[in-house]
Amino acid sequence: MNKIHIMDEVLANKIAAGEVVEKTMNVVKELVENSIDARSNEIKIELIDSGVKRIKVSDNGVGMSRDDAMLAFSRHATSKLSTLDDLFNIESLGFRGEALPSIAAVSKLTLKTCDGNEGTMVFVNGGKIEKVEGSDLKKGTSITVEDLFYNTPVRLKYLKNLYIELANITDYVNKMALSYPNIRFTLMNNEKVLLHTDGSNNLFKVIYAIYGSHVAKKMIEVHGENDDYAITGYISYPEIAKTSRNHIITFVNGRLIRNNELNRTIIECYHTYIPKDKFPIIIFKIEVDPILIDINIHPTKMDIKFSKMNDLKELVEQIIKPKLKALTLIPNITNLELSEVTSEKVNTYKSDIESDYPDYSVSENLTLDFDYSLKEDVLAVDSEDADTEEEPYKIKYMKPVGIVHATYIIAENEDGMFIIDQHAAQERINYEKYLKAMSKEDHKMVDLLVPISIELSNKDFIIFNENIELFKSIGFEAETFGINSLVIRAHPYFLPKGYEEQAIRKIIDIICEKEAFSKEKFVEKTAITLSCKMAIKANDVISLEEAEVLLNTLRKTENPFTCPHGRPTIITYTKYDLEKLFKRAMN
């Protein structure tokens, strides 16, 4: 007797459903994408109990004939592909022909559709068509899915709670509304409207409907193109960064996608503008010739492969970086979410800082002579720079009038009152100084009368010896000596006076971490590390004269708004904010 046989179609559909339909959001996704492919401009999603009891998706698209409506429940039945060449030029959201039979296999499904000639209703129970009759539907298609997973109780058991299922659906519909602002979307759960867009093809209005006015006011429109890609969309101000990457939303030819390499490029554009555990809100619509992408690599069709990826990454950088550089990024105190700053978060913030630099205890904090750190122009790394023409400052002159808790400088100008974190401000100054100095090809070096000898572990010595040219490239003269030791005979002049050996050891530690980095990333990490350790600290007492030098120097930096870790250096109360607080302005 033969052991191999053809699998029953209902069984095959149930197996396929395991890949296509894992939760209620997957059902909504497949049905909404079918509605979009049907050229609808109005899509309504109605849920009962987050879709577990019922999901109904209605549209005003082209609809189907009776024969097509019945054939749609057969596996691999599709109107979107007909030849092999079509697979390499996909312009629709769906194309495999698996969604409807997979959903029907694990639910009770009712399809109503009309192509303008006749209306058809098809009822499918557990994958079997039980009834086909006429329908009074006038235009488009309506699909109702009830009792999802009723015949696969194991899968039903592992559905999340109703709130999580609803959150997943809402998140998906929000993103599709952003991708298709020309479509009127309505999302309801238990007869309550959760989202309604007007289909006016205004992306900003959709952002307003989803995120609210606070976020919408802090979004910047961007656009750009090269020979292969065109990008339009919005990027957020750094101050409204989120704790999840989920708000980096990218569409390719209208399809919602996730691509880790693209996301990393976007996040790197915000480097030093936001903390490392925060992420911007990004809405990018990418248009590209379908032949340059491959979407047929995962059942959900959300992962994607790009040809000419480097060209796309360069375009993303060209779009984001100049916009951020041109902004005035001083957060207004009334826009900060102060209610979220609990003692727990304050302690977390403190521990984050300490964990970044575990080698130094509080008693070992390095403080600099102000004559060196502030009264000189710390941005000028050689005499040539002093002669260059200065660009207009990004922030106006601020006159310091006081210092609170030996940490926060209070300053004023005609626009309002400013609060400056003295440590973050000098971190930014130091960071740009070190970055500029280390990025030069020719380095001024200080010869040491007494060479510095440093002993490493055998593991660190091997790693350092492998990367010794990287160490030398930023201005060190060094050589290995004996067993697991090295001798420093000269160092770059920009190392802080009196703390040369500590700085050298920290740079060596960065090399020995054995992270995969280029010289550019090495220089970046070294600049960030030195900038923090060599800055004045909270509770370091400075005079108003020294504070004025600090603020004037901060104004000369390329980005005076954040420290290298992305935390704000300045916040402001506008004059109008102060008048409202004291009831001088009542509006």
Domains and their CATH numbers in the chain:
9-196 (3.30.565.10), 212-326 (3.30.230.10), 328-336+360-442+543-587 (3.30.1540.20), 445-492+500-533 (3.30.1370.100)
Q: What per-residue confidence (pLDDT) applies to 351? A: 36
Q: What per-residue confidence (pLDDT) applies to 286? A: 94
Q: Provide the residue count of the chain.
A: 587
Q: What per-residue confidence (pLDDT) applies to 126? A: 84
Question: Nearest-CA neighbor of 97 among 117, 112, 82, 113?
Answer: 82
Token digits for 325?
């550089």
State the pairing for strand pair 108-114/140-146.
antiparallel
pLDDT (tens digit per residue) in 533-581: 778 877 888 899 999 999 999 999 999 999 998 889 999 998 888 888 8
| Contact indicator for 576, 569 with CB cutoff of 8 Å | no
How deeply is 402 buried, as exposed, middle or buried, from its count of CB atoms within 10 A (0-12, 13-18, 19+)? exposed
The single-letter DSSP state of residue 257 is E
CA distances from 391 to 231, 329, 394 (A): 30, 18, 9
Angle (CA) 574 580 581, round 5° = 95
CA gap 517, 530 in Å, rounded? 18
Question: Alpha helices, DSSP H only, in 135-228?
Answer: 153-157, 162-179, 203-211, 213-216
- In one-letter notation, the amino acid at residue 140 is G
pLDDT (tens digit per residue) in 487-519: 999 999 888 777 888 889 888 888 887 665 678
The single-letter DSSP state of residue 123 is E
Q: What per-residue confidence (pLDDT) applies to 441? A: 78
Q: What per-residue confidence (pLDDT) applies to 305? A: 82
The label of the residue with tokens 């708000």 reads 247
**Strands of 255-257's sheet, edge to edge?**
219-225, 229-236, 282-288, 248-252, 255-257
Q: What per-residue confidence (pLDDT) applies to 381? A: 38
Low-confidence ranges of the chain (pLDDT < 50): 11, 14-19, 80-84, 86-88, 94-96, 337-390
CA gap 169, 303 in Å, rounded? 19
Question: Nearest-CA neighbor of 285 among 203, 215, 200, 208?
Answer: 203
What is the reported pTM?
0.70
Phi, psi of 77 (to 5 degrees): -90, 120
**Greatest extent of the chain over all pairs of C-alpha atoms, in Å:** 97
Contacts of 340 (CB under 8 A, 6+ apart): none
Please report, to the nearest 10 degrees, the dihedral formed by the alpha carbons of residues 467, 470, 475, 480 taken in order: 10
User: Could you count the other beta carbons within 10 Å of the beta carbon of residue 394?
Assistant: 19
| Contact indicator for 571, 411 with CB cutoff of 8 Å | no
